[in-house]
């Protein structure tokens, strides 16, 4: 294949097809043609880098969107839908689905060139993503990961912090094959590995002991295969740490440091003795209302501190909420946070915003108008999390992420009061308001929401279950009963 980009053009209108083809060829592209969607789908796995398709009809119809997604093929190419400028204004910010975007036919060449700058060497990038997915562990819930512009990937994202150069011991490096986990007792820099506590597609998490301070910490180690071959992943890793280190609050897990060596990169954060809300819900199913309120209040406080630094978390979910044995509630993972302090990059446009988050808890605007996210987007995700905590299930469920995202955008949330009849009506009402489709219809501020939740908690009569007793004690009792029942 030559260095020229290969574009598949699907257009039933002979005149428009001919004009677009001439324009693309004169701009240096190689063009393949199809006169209908069926023919286009049959050709998508040929050597193309991008698909241009004429407006196929009702873009609010999920079957139409599914057809467009088929055009992405095995390489998950971007699909650009050619529409009139009027059509584009009617569409939801022109982003129809992950990797599928409506653009003006008149401005398609400019859009292609903009996309090309971001997705150069597209085939190589997708192959590397596929290799990372194939090697990944699926021990954590899937999430929509950080992606260049319009690309959707499944797996754990990576986190991070401003780096300094440090070296690993020769013995450690010699014993460690690519992506092999570190053995308990081994020493890395000034940390002794105690146990592997989690793993994902990009990194391993360990409980460690600081050899000088004799304190427990957690380190998140980027997989070697990625650290040595994917500078973009390393950059994302460092982004989380830079985001996290700016936030000092008792309801946010503290990131202390990052170490970057020629072969490995890891960040150091405080160690929390406890469990995640996801662990609790997987065992208990749901929480008492007063516990859900305590979590909501703590998350509002932590997110307030983040927002004061110009940060939008964008991935509030049960797995990112840690419940300590002493009753503390901590927010973790700012790997995909949006920094409102950063000016847009030169040459970028609102439509180039990245889609990130976890579909089960993602706000409509985060999926379909990502450049418009603000603190109310985190409020929506917190509402979806509290809905899950109170009812035992997320507000929207489906067999694939696309359907879930569409439900967040188009479907009314189930009535929480019906799913959780013992949940106080006032709490149900505020959670349902947090799940409003439009940002303007949600609570306007985190501070106001926190105060409202605190008022509800103050008005409640305790039912004997108090966070100060330790979250994990409840979790462990339930786990033990489950094991005994199965045995």
Distance set, CA 480 to CA 318, 474, 477, 484 (Å): 21, 10, 5, 6
Select the more confidently predicted residue: 178 or 300.
300
Q: Band of the pLDDT at 95, cuts 50, 70, 90?
A: low
Q: Tell me, yes or no, whether 449 and 330 share the same domain.
A: yes
Segments forming the whole domain that contains residue 266: 139-270
pLDDT score for 472: 52
Asked which of 248, 270, 292 is the last residue of a domain, the reply is 270
> What values do phi and psi take at 472, rounded to 5?
-70, -20
125 located within any domain: no
Q: Residue 19 belongs to a domain with what CATH number?
A: 3.40.50.2300
209 located within any domain: yes
Ranges 42-51, 117-126, 160-169, 240-249: which has the least confidence:
160-169
Select the more confidently predicted residue: 460 or 414.
414
Q: Tell me, yes or no, whether 194 and 343 share the same domain.
A: no
99 located within any domain: yes
Asked if residue 473 has pLDDT above 80, the reply is no
127 located within any domain: no
The catalytic site residues sit at 315
Q: Tell me, yes or no, whether 212 and 289 share the same domain.
A: no
Select the more confidently predicted residue: 315 or 168.
315
Ranges 81-85, 214-218, 237-241, 472-476, most confident: 214-218
Q: Tell me, yes or no, whether 279 and 411 share the same domain.
A: yes
Asked which of 238, 270, 302 is the last residue of a domain, the reply is 270
Q: Tell me, yes or no, whether 346 and 222 share the same domain.
A: no
What is the rounded average pLDDT of the residues 2-23?
82
Q: pTM surpassing 0.95? A: no
Distance set, CA 454 to CA 128, 292, 306, 466 (Å): 47, 11, 20, 15
Q: Residue 157 belongs to a domain with what CATH number?
A: 3.30.200.20
Q: Band of the pLDDT at 55, cuts 50, 70, 90?
A: confident
Q: Tell me, yes or no, whether 245 and 328 share the same domain.
A: no
Q: Which residues pair with 32 in a beta bridge?
A: 8
What is the rounded average pLDDT of the residues 85-91?
51
Asked which of 69, 86, 120 is the last residue of a domain, the reply is 120
Q: Tell me, yes or no, whether 24 and 62 share the same domain.
A: yes
Select the more confidently predicted residue: 3 or 302.
302
73 located within any domain: yes
1 located within any domain: no
Cα–Cα distance between 380 and 55 in angstroms, integer? 32
Overall domain count for the chain: 3
What is the three-class DSSP state of 96?
Answer: strand
Q: Tell me, yes or no, whether 174 and 57 share the same domain.
A: no
Q: Tell me, yes or no, whether 439 and 343 share the same domain.
A: yes
**pLDDT averaged over the chain?**
76
Q: Tell me, yes or no, whether 279 and 383 share the same domain.
A: yes
The answer to whether the beta carbons of residues 321 and 424 sit under 8 Å apart is no
Asked if residue 129 has pLDDT above 90, the reply is no
Q: Give every CB contact of residue 472 below 8 A, 6+ residues apart in sequence.
A: 273, 274, 275, 323, 325
pLDDT score for 40: 83
Ranges 48-57, 149-158, 261-270, 384-393, most confident: 384-393
Q: Tell me, yes or no, whether 61 and 99 share the same domain.
A: yes
Q: What is the pLDDT of residues 305-350, one digit of tens each?
A: 999 999 999 999 999 999 988 889 999 988 788 888 876 554 444 4
Q: Which residue, 151, 132, 158, is CA-closest to 335? A: 158
Cα–Cα distance between 434 and 480 in angstroms, integer? 35
251 located within any domain: yes
173, burial (CB in 10 Å: exposed 0-12, middle 13-18, buried 19+): middle
Select the more confidently predicted residue: 463 or 217.
217
> What values do phi and psi take at 267, rounded to 5?
-110, 155
Asked if residue 469 has pLDDT above 60, the reply is no
Q: Residue 301 belongs to a domain with what CATH number?
A: 1.10.510.10
What is the rounded average pLDDT of the residues 228-240?
78
126 located within any domain: no
pLDDT score for 96: 60
Q: Tell me, yes or no, whether 88 and 105 share the same domain.
A: yes
């Amino acid at each position: 294949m030559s260095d020229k980009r290969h574009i598949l053009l699907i257009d039933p209108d002979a005149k428009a097809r001919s004009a677009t083809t001439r324009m693309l060829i004169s701009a240096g592209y190689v063009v393949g043609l199809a006169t209908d969607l069926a023919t286009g789908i049959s050709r998508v796995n040929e050597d193309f880098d991008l698909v241009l398709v004429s407006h196929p009809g009702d873009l609010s119809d999920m079957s139409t969107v599914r057809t467009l997604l088929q055009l992405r093929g095995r390489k998950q190419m971007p699909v650009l839908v050619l529409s009139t400028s009027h059509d584009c204004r009617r569409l939801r910010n022109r982003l129809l689905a992950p990797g599928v975007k409506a653009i003006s036919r008149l401005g398609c060449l400019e859009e292609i060139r903009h996309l090309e700058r971001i997705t150069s060497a597209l085939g190589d990038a997708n192959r590397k993503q596929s290799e990372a997915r194939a090697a990944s562990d699926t021990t954590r819930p899937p999430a929509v990961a950080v992606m260049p512009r319009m690309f959707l990937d499944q797996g754990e994202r990576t986190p991070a912090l401003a780096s300094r150069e440090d070296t690993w011991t020769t013995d450690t490096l010699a014993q460690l094959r690519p992506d092999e986990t570190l053995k308990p007792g081994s020493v890395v820099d000034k940390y002794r590995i105690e146990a592997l506590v989690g793993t994902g597609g990009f990194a391993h998490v360990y409980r460690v002991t600081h050899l000088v301070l004799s304190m427990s910490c957690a380190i998140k180690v980027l997989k070697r295969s990625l650290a040595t071959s994917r500078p973009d992943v390393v950059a994302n890793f460092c982004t989380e740490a830079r985001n996290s280190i700016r936030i000092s609050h008792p309801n946010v897990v503290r990131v202390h440091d990052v170490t970057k060596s020629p072969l490995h990169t890891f960040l150091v954060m405080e160690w929390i003795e406890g469990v995640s809300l996801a662990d609790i819900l997987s065992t208990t199913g749901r929480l008492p209302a007063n516990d859900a309120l305590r979590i909501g209040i703590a998350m509002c406080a932590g997110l307030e501190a983040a927002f004061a630094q110009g940060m939008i978390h964008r991935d509030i979910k049960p797995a990112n909420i840690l419940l300590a044995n002493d009753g503390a509630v901590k927010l973790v993972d700012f790997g995909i946070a949006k920094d409102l302090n950063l000016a847009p990059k030169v040459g970028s446009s609102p439509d180039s915003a990245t889609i990130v988050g976890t579909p089960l808890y993602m706000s409509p605007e985060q999926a379909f108008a990502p450049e418009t996210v603000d603190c109310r987007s985190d409020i929506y995700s917190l509402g979806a999390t509290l809905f899950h905590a109170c009812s035992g299930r997320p507000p929207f469920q489906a067999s694939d992420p696309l359907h879930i995202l569409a439900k967040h955008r188009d479907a009314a949330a189930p009535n929480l009061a019906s799913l959780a009849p013992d949940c106080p009506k006032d709490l149900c009402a505020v959670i349902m308001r947090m799940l409003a489709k439009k940002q303007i219809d949600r609570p306007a501020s985190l501070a106001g929401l926190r105060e409202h939740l605190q008022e509800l908690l103050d008005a409640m009569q305790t039912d004997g279950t108090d966070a100060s007793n330790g979250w994990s004690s409840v979790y462990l009792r339930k786990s033990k009963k489950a094991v005994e029942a199965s045995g």
